[in-house]
Structure formats: C-alpha cells, structure tokens
Structure 1
Amino acid sequence: MPDLKFMPHQLKVLNTTEQFNHVGYYLDMGLGKTFVGAEKLWELNNPINIVVCQKSKVDDWLDHFRTYYPQVKTCDLTKKSESITFNNLIDAQALTKDDTLIGVINYDLIFRRSIYQKYSGFTLMLDESSLISNESTSRAKYILKMHPESVILLSGTPTAGKYEKLWSQCQLLGWNITKTAFWGSYVQTTWVEDGTFKRQVITGYKNVDHLKRKLAQHGCIFMKTEEVIQLPDKVEQKIFVPATKEYRKFMKNSYLMLDTLNLQEFHDESDFDGKDVTPRVELVGDNQLTKLLCARQLCGQYHKDKLDAFRDLIESSEERWIVFYNFNDELIRLKKIAEALNRPTSEVNGHDRDLNAYEHRSDSITFIQYQAGAMGGNYQKSCRICYFTLPLGKGSCDLWEQSKKRIHRIGQQNICFYYYLMVKGSIEERNLQMLKVGKELTDDLFRDQTHQSD
C-alpha cells in the first residue's frame, strides 16, 4: 500500500467493501472520494485500469496517481501519443502481473474511441458516475457496453434524491434488474395528458429501504458529511435588486432592442474592442427556450443594478471570493469590475483554468462557470461564494448542490457565506425556490412566470 494516511471514515468505506470488486462510493463532497476511489483501484490490483472523469478533472486525476502512486504508469488518454502508448502496451501484452497501467480520459471523448470496448478484464472507474444516469446518451451507451472485470463508481450527489437515475449505475454494479422492474419496484408514477399525448410523471418513491439494502449488497456506500465530520456553519443571504423596465417590457412583448452602453463598467463603444461584447443587442423570445435565455441575460449581464450590487458586495470584504456565473458576457463584465477594484482574478471555465491568483492572493476573486467547475475543485481557502446568476436546465440541481461544497469541505475553518444576487419578482426567485426542493425550473413553470409578468 502507498504511504497514505486515511481518515477513519475513509478506512471504514474501504474495509466495508473489501470483498467487492464492483463498488459505488456515494460520498458527500469533501469526504475525499478521490483518495478512497484511487486506493480501491490499487487494492483491486488489475494491471489495466481506465478512469473516466469530466474534462476539467483529467489533470487532477493524473496528478493524484503520479503523486501518490508513482510506481504506476499513468497515461493521459486525451493526448494522442499517450493514448497510443497505452493501447500498444495492452495489445502487445507487455504487462506483467506486477505492472499497473492507468489511463485517464474524459466522458465526452471516450465514446469516440471504439477500442476501449474491445478490452476486458480491466478496472473501470467513473468519477461523477451520475453523468451516465441518462442511459440514452452516447457516453452512457458506450460505457454500458464496455467489459470491465471490476467497477468503481464515485459521486458526491449521485441522484439528488431522484432514485430513478440510479438504474444505469446498477447495471455496472452487476445488479441486472430491468428498467421496467426497477421503476415498478421503487418509482411511483402517474400518467398525465400533455396536449395531444400522455406522458409519465414521477410522483414519489416506494420501498426505499429495500432499495438501499439491495444497493448495499452490490457494494454501495452512501455517506453524508455531517455523519462523520463537523464542518463550520453555513449562512445564506439574498441580495435583491429591482426588476428593470427592460425586463418587464421583454417579458410582456418577447422582444427588446437593448442599449448596453448605460452599464456602469463600460463608458464608450471603444471599451468593447476585443471583448466579444456588443454595445447593442436584439433580444427575441420567439419560443419558450429563447425567451427563458433572454430573461436570464436581462437578470444578469444586462442588469446595471445587479452589476453595481456585485461591485458593492466584493468591496465589502478583502477576503478571497468564489463567484459562480453562466455566460461568457457575464464573465467579461464581472472581470472588468474586479479590474477596476484592483482585485486579482482566477477563472475556471471551458477556455481557461488559471488558479494562480486564488492560490497566492488572499484578496483574489475566482470566477467559476458552473459546467466547468461546480462539480469539482477544492476552494476552502475561501469562505465566501457569490452566485451572480443561478444554473438552470438539465442537471442544474446537481450543479448548484455541488457548487456549495467547493468551500464547505474538509480543511475549512471558517463559517461559509453564500450570497445570492437576485432580481426581485423575476424568474430567478422561482428558480432558487425550485433548486432548494431539488427540482428544475421547467418550461411550464416559466410559462407561469411569464403570465404573472404580463
């Protein structure tokens, strides 16, 4: 075993599942599932191992194995040269019983590599295994057709209370229950008429204790932070700004020509040079999805009072801040405010992952785009999160729940503060209400909000 010191709850997880070669570690964010999963992979002692994770986590997994398991050959399968090396070693059968080979790849790439479905007898580890909960996606279809000997599933919020999402993971754990039988045994549904057709709606769950016993029999461990660690308190605060006349006009007419030059941080059109921001935008809500998108923009990047509130909030504390946002235009405007305040910035998004300011400056502001950073990363050097806008759409509940764990985790010594910048009477209030009860804001709910604004 590598020279690692595990916490008591981590040792308990490993000892409880020692006899299993198919395991599901559903450990709350901050409980160290990376260490537990990597150690289980080591204990399984398969010469070939494939780790699948989010794109933003590939480097983290590579660093982890290379730091704590240097005797293992670890390959970055997102790089062509290392992928070729990995495959050649397997095809040439050049591995001895004492060799261990680990390849790390992201979800959006693996299903484009047909070769991994040809291998068998290896260990497959899925980080954030909830990402295959929809078995109809390309990634899930591909992974479910792989032929591993051993499986390790890792997730911080595996279902957000939605047990129907576990069925595809049950298949990997070796519980070969059909989807029809799974739903019939554990999911309560009803059929409702939706226009010209009927659709099945989940109304609740049944036999939950039996489900948990069955999952335990297939190597699953569920563990909440509060069960094993006493973390500091959390304090949430809403900061309201009024809805603009532009927002109300758009919600009524589904159309708006917006002049953005009145936003405080831009003084003239020359300030837009190279910023990918236009001084005038046309907002057209010709269907529910585009109207929802435009409404969110009017509650964020195009809302002068909210941008002013963000400035005031950041100025209120010289400590590190974590700021979650959705759109690139939001980032541009928020960074301009930070620059005006002479605050160093870091960012995590689909284009960049620069944490230098976060690591080395106590007055830094780190901007994190939800899809790129809400589900991973340790930011407990900060105890303050600002939600400039909230996530919305498929998977938004998981993103929001996991984003809160970025600072509220092992190593945090201070009370954690969460600030929500909210437009009063807008879709943002409804969205937050739904997130807090584990639901996503649907088109129907948005339609209700539209009617309220008429």
Structure 2
Amino acid sequence: MNKGFGFLFEMGCGKTLTAIATLGTAYKLEKIEKVLIIAPTSVCSVWPKEFDDYADFKAIVKVLLGDKDKRIKALSDLDSFPFKALKVAVINYESTWREDIFEALYEWDADMIICDESQRIKTHDAEQSKAIHKLGDQARYKLILSGTPVQNNAIDLYSQYRFLDPTIFGTNFYQFRNRYAIMGGFNRHQIVGYRDLDQLIQKEHSIAYRVTKEEALDLPEQTFLERRITLTAKEKNIYNKIKRESFAELDGGGKVTVTTVLTKLLRLQQFTGGFLVADGSEKAELVSKGKLNALEEIIDDYVVDAGKKLVIFARFRPEIDLIGQMLAKKKIKYGSIYGDVKLEDRGGIVKDFQTNADTKVFLAQIDTAGLGITLTAADTCVYYSVNFNYAAYSQSLARIHRIGQKNICTYIHLITEGTVDETILKALAKKEDLAKTIVDEWRNYF
C-alpha cells in the first residue's frame, strides 16, 4: 500500500526539520533506505546543510547537479556507497522528467519521495507533474511539503494529492474539478466559484498536518532562512578569476586601505547578484540569473500562490531594476524606493504598500530604505544582497519587525555558494562591521 502525508507548514515553521526527523524515524525502523527529494532549484543545496545540522542518524546526501551524465553518475555513486546510511538524492523539479534522468530515477526506485514546495506540481497535465506522479506510484512512502494555503487555489490541490495518495481525490482531474468547482464564462471553461470546500479541506487534512505562524507559539520572533544558488562552472571560473586578480593587486606591495579592499569585495558581490562591470566600463552587464530565478521561485510561492505581501532588499541599483522588470512582467503591483526616488515621494510609496491590498511587493535599496520606515504589512523579507555595515543591516531587519507587526517575521537570504556572500553573512551574524576589521583580515575574503 502506498502511504502519503503532507506537512503544510507556513514558511519558517520548520517543515524541513520535521521532514528530516520523519526520515530518521523511518530509517531507524528499517522502513526506508533510499530517499528522493524533489525541490525548487534554489532549495536543493539547502538540504545537505539541513541534514548536517539536524540529522542524528547516518545519511549520505547527494544533490544531482550538472549535465545529464553527471546527475545519473551521482545517483549511481549513491548506490555504491559502501557504508550503512540513509541514501538521499536531491534534484530540482525541472530535471525529473528529462530524457534518461526520469528513467534513472525510476530505476533507482526510492523508498520515499519528498516533494518540497509541492505546489510546483499543481498543474496536473504538465510534463514534470506527470513524471512525478509516475515516480510516486512506485514509491512506498510519499511526503509533500508546502506552506501555500490551498483555500486560495482549491483546484491546485488535485495534482499534489494525485502524487501523494490517489485514493483521496481520485485519478481523474475533470471528475475532481466537476465535484468542487463551479464552471462558467466562455463555453463554461472558467472556474467562477467553488462548492463543498469544507469537505475538500477535510479530505485534504485527513492525510496532512497544517501549521501556521500564528499557531507555532514556540517559534522565535524572527526566523532566518537561506536559499542557496550554485554557480555554473563557467560562472565559477569568472568569479575565481576576479578573486585571484583582486588578491594579486592587494598583495602587490602597495598600501592596503579600507577603500581598496571594499572596492574589490564590491565587484565580487556584484557578480554574485548576476552583474559584471568590465574593466574600463561603468555599466553593469547581466551575466547570470541564478539569484533572480531563486527570487522568482519565492515570489511564485509566496506572492502569486499564497497572496501575501513581501519586502525585498537589494544593494545595487542594477539589481533593483532587474527585479522590478521581473515583477512588472508577472503583473505584480509593487512600490520601490532607491537613491533617485525623491524624499517627498517616499512616504506615499510606503503608505501605498501598507494600506493598498493590491500592492504586493516593496522593493528597496538597503542603503536608502533600510532606516526609519514601517513595512509591517509584510512579515517576510528577502535579502537579494546586503551591504557591509551591520548597523544598516540591523536597521533593515526592523522594517517589518516593529510595533504594529502581529506575526512572526521571516528573513530569507539569497546566498551564492562558495562566494563572498557567505563571508559577508557570517560577519553580519557576528554583528561585525566589515569596514572595521577588513584591513587586518583582508586575506580571509579572497
């Protein structure tokens, strides 16, 4: 019998930790040996870190990255791991249905499959949804993790539960839709309302557990999460070249000052955000969309699907412009404050975000809007990039965490792995101002 369950925890309520505890229990009871975790791209590399932090059992975790052959080899390497341990493969949604990869995953035959942010398979007839349904039909145990309230997208529930347990809502999407949706509009092809939602939610919760921030009384007032971005081999080569050149210039015997070191760090940080300023040029050129794609995943989950408000801080103006273009393309109404926005206009932009239900995102330059304004209409904030000043960073945290805020606050940092992003965040976690320590410790940053 296939057994499926859902942890429908709002962001920051510990669904990854709970999932790892569940895996550990099942492993120790000898129910599972192999686990496949399917996650959004920016979440994949978070899983090994979470296992390191929380698992009290032996686990070998491999993120399947790179081209098709590399991914299949990583899966094969898991099988040949010589010691007793829970074998965990992590892969992004978009790769699961690709030729040869799907076949390799099917042949690997995981005992348990976890769909992290399972709303990624909400479209029942999408290729990746159909592939994951097939993988799920074979697996002995299944788990979905999602914080998106199903009340907003009742029909989206079908595909996720088709993966989880087909006996709950059946295997025919149109029967499910006819049962719970009221059709209207042109040729009756549009959903104009719902019926029997109480019964639908009751069935949904029969194999799921829901946790909201309001219910999670033991959560800290502020929860910090990370989404990790992996550079491609080409991007990593460019990054390392900039780093080597910066080190060579600083180590060349001249006087090392705060300004010279911070300027070099700034260039590295701009690159992790996707931009490169060529020598002799003032214009930043877009060379990578890793962070933008990770941010778009969060916006899809949190703003589009869950209908919630979001604050986004970024350090550099090209990042602000790029994010603004993405929001406009998605037709998401947003307010934005950066250096060129007139002081007399800023109050109205903040007020609109605070009071207008249609304005979903507040996008701001951290040096410009990180101080003195109230953004409590949101309880979640994404840091696309940060500055080097702890005081400014600390002030920006307080934009959503202040009087008037009724919810636990969640902060998500976008971190490009193996780069200056990690170093800066560690310094900020120690409440350090990089400018005060940078001259003596500059070698640690390059």
Q: TM-score, normalised by structure 2?
A: 0.51
Which of 202, 214, 237 is the equivalent residue of 2:203? 214
Aligned pairs for 1:50-61 within 5 A: 50-61=36-47
Q: Distance in 1 between matches of 2:337 and 2:194?
A: 40
Q: Which amino acid aligns with 1:139?
A: Q
Structure 1 stretches (4+) deviating beyond 6 angstroms? 230-234, 294-299, 311-314
Question: 1:313: Cα distance to partner?
Answer: 9.5
Instruction: Quote how far apart the aligned CAs of 1:68 are.
Output: 2.5
2:337–2:369 CA contact under 8 A, matched in 1: no
Tell me the C-alpha RMSD between the 2 structures. Answer: 4.8
Q: Given the alignment of the two structures, is residue 119 of structure 1 paired with residue 79 of structure 2, yes or no?
A: no
Q: Which amino acid aligns with 1:73?
A: I
2:143 paired with 1:155: no
Cα separation, partners in 2 of 1:301 and 1:295, compared to 1, 3 Å: farther
Q: 2-side partners of 1:52 and 1:298: how far apart?
A: 31
Change (3 A) 1:298 1:105: closer
Q: Distance in 1 between matches of 2:3 and 2:15?
A: 16
1:406 aligned onto 2:401: no
What SS class does the counterpart of residue 152 from structure 2 fall into?
coil
Counterpart mapping for 1:181-330 below 5 A: 181-187=175-181, 189-193=182-186, 198-217=187-206, 219-229=207-217, 273-276=282-285, 293=329, 305=341
Displacement of 1:34 after TM fit? Answer: 1.0
Distance verdict in 2 for CA 1:307–1:221, change over 3 Å: farther
Assess, with a 3 A threshold, how the Cα gap between structure 1 residues 405 and 347 changes in structure 2: closer, same or farther: closer
Q: Which of 3, 12, 19 lines up with 1:37 in the alignment?
A: 19
Matched, 1:142 2:136: no
Other structure's SS at 1:73 match: strand
Take 1:30 and 1:67, find their aligned partners in 2: how far apart are those partners?
Answer: 16
Match of 2:124, SS state, is coil
Distance in 2 (alpha carbons) for counterparts of 1:382 and 1:182 = 44
* Separation of aligned partners in 1, 2:73 and 2:47: 19
How many Å apart are 1:220 and its aligned residue? 1.0
Of the three residues 392, 398, 401, the one matched with 1:363 is 392
Paired residue secondary structure (2:166): coil
Q: 1:73 aligns with which of 48, 60, 71?
A: 60
- Evaluate the alpha carbon distance shift between residue 221 and residue 201 of structure 1 in structure 2; reply closer, same or farther with a 3 A threshold: same
| AA matched with 1:213 | Q
Correspondence for 1:180 among 174, 177, 182: 174
Query: CA offset at residue 167 of structure 1?
Result: 0.2
Which letter does structure 2 place at the counterpart of 1:406?
Answer: T
Q: Return the offset for 1:65.
A: 0.9
Corresponding residue SS for 1:144? helix
Equivalent residue for 2:373? Answer: none
Q: Is the 8 Å Cα contact of residues 5 and 142 (structure 2) preserved in structure 1?
A: yes
1:413-428 map, 5 Å: none
With over 3 angstroms needed to count, the CA separation of the structure-2 counterparts of 1:185 and 1:68, relative to structure 1, is same
Structure 2 spans left out of the alignment, 5+ residues: 223-279, 287-324, 351-359, 371-380, 402-406, 413-446
Q: Determine if the alignment matches structure 1 residue 164 to structure 2 residue 155.
A: yes
Deviation at 1:133, TM superposition (A): 0.5
Relative to total residues, which structure has the larger helix share, 1 or 2? 2
- Per the TM alignment, residue 53 of structure 1 is displaced from its structure 2 partner at its CA by 1.3
Structure 2 Cα separation of the partners of residues 53 and 294 of structure 1: 22
| Post-superposition CA distance 1:304-348 (Å, at most 9, x none) | 54687569999xxxxxxxxx979xxx88xx478589xxxxxx985
- Partners in 2 of 1:313 and 1:233 — Cα distance? 27
Q: Match for 1:169: what amino acid?
A: Q
SS at match of 1:145: helix
Aligned twin of 2:118 = 129
Amino acid at match of 1:122: D
| Deviation of 1:67 (Å) | 2.7
Q: Which amino acid aligns with 2:185?
A: V
Give the superposition deviation at 1:77.
1.1
Deviations 1:103-156 (A, max 9, x none): 112222333322113332521111111111012333222211213221110011
| Structure 2: distance between partners of 1:272 and 1:337 | 25
For residue 215 of structure 2, give the secondary structure of its aligned residue in structure 1. Answer: helix
Q: Tell me the distance in 1 between the aligned counterparts of 2:210 and 2:330.
A: 39
Cα-to-partner distance string for 1:16-54 (whole Å, 9 max, x where unaligned): xxx994111101222211111111122222111111112
Whether the aligned pair in 2 keeps the contact of 1:301 and 1:307 (CA below 8 Å) is: no
**Structure 1 residues 166 and 58, CA, compared in 2 at 3 Å: closer, same or farther?**
same
* Aligned residues of 1:130 and 1:159 also touching (Cα < 8 A): no
Taking the aligned partners of 2:330 and 2:192, their CA distance within structure 1 comes to 31
- Give % identity: 19
Say whether the 8 Å CA contact 2:116–2:146 is kept in structure 1. Answer: yes
Tell me the matched-pair count: 281
Q: Match for 2:397 among 382, 387, 391?
A: 382
Which of 110, 125, 129 matches 2:96?
Answer: 110
1:64 partner SS: helix
Contiguous gaps of at least 5 residues in structure 1: 1-18, 235-270, 278-288, 315-323, 340-345, 367-380, 387-402, 409-454
